[in-house]
Structure 1
Amino acid sequence: MYDFEGVLKDIKDKGLYRELRSVEASQGTYTVIDGRKMLILSSNNYLGLCDDSRLKNAAIEAIRKYGVGAGGSRLTCGNFVLHRELEERLAGFKEAEGCIVFGSGYAANIGTISGIADKSWVIFCDRLNHASIVDGIRLSGAKLVVYKHCDMEDLESKIVRYHTGKSLIVTDGVFSMDGDMRR
């Protein structure tokens, strides 16, 4: 029989046990967590949009018009005119033929990579890429080849060794665990 209690105790003893903390205010540079004002250094709110009054007002108006849920996936019954308008505006801004918006970065990575590649592909992946990129590669069935972090010589040697036809190099723009930026 597996000793869940023992494993949990070991995790706690090593200081690796994590608990959900209650965020009690919007996330900006600071927020309130468990009753204390805290500096946020781990948020994805890079652009400070979580508390932008224009976005909050637009969200309130959208809720009044469309409700609080799509009622299903976009493919079945949840593709609102708002989705299409946003994608058209983003495509225009980027001067692109089209655009698709995902609900999160995780969904974008697994959806895009697994939608492009299949088991006939080789995908070269930086060792410190976000887990969502690795998950997308695994879902695609492509051969995963990991290269040393930001090491173009290692990448080149692996391309020479493993490239067989259809391939893709996938890397983060900003590496989430250490803040490294691809140059």
Structure 2
Amino acid sequence: MKLRSVLMVGALLLGGCAVNPYGGSPAPVGETAPPVKQPDKVVTEPEVSTAQPTPVAPLGLAQAMANAVVQAPEVRALTRGDKPVLLLAPPQNNTQRQIDTDAMAAAMRPRIQAGGFRLVDADRVAAVTGQLEYQQGGVNPASLVRLGRQTGAGYMLYGDLGEVSGRYQLAMSLMDLKSGELIWSGSRSAQR
């Protein structure tokens, strides 16, 4: 017990002699060192490999389709007197490939205009079809008919691009928007 008391008294004496970090003299104040600058981290973006649209076969196919449309006897009968207004909708891409169908429609425009049609402005068509796709989750023929009427077109040329046995197949139809009558329908195919 005596030993215990001696240890207790010794601990108290030594504890009282320790330096108090919070009292007494103020902390030394001097010039602060500039902050350490961290090196710039080099961040490289991963390369994204996107398949480029295949331009050759579908564009040639689109031009062949435009020729077929304007050379059809029933279409020639429409364009004899005046220049009817046509809504040219880009073909719906039903292939597994990334193909720019707007470019296909653009390739068809000059031949269709030379064949006697006035075309609805492509930017206007793109804006309205984009809105329809957003609202309805896709463009269907009924919404295209509404689009044609909104743009003042009397006729609409629409279709699908598919792939059959390693070949592209473009099927298109020409419709009278006032009566709903299908005036012409045809398809063309080309090697992929």
Structure with more contact order per residue of length (Cα contacts < 8 Å, sep ≥ 6): 2
Structure having the larger proportion of residues in strand: 2
Higher CA-based Rg? 2
Please say whether Structure 1 and Structure 2 have the same fold, judged by a TM-score greater than 0.5.
no
- TM-score of the superposed pair, with normalisation by structure 1: 0.29
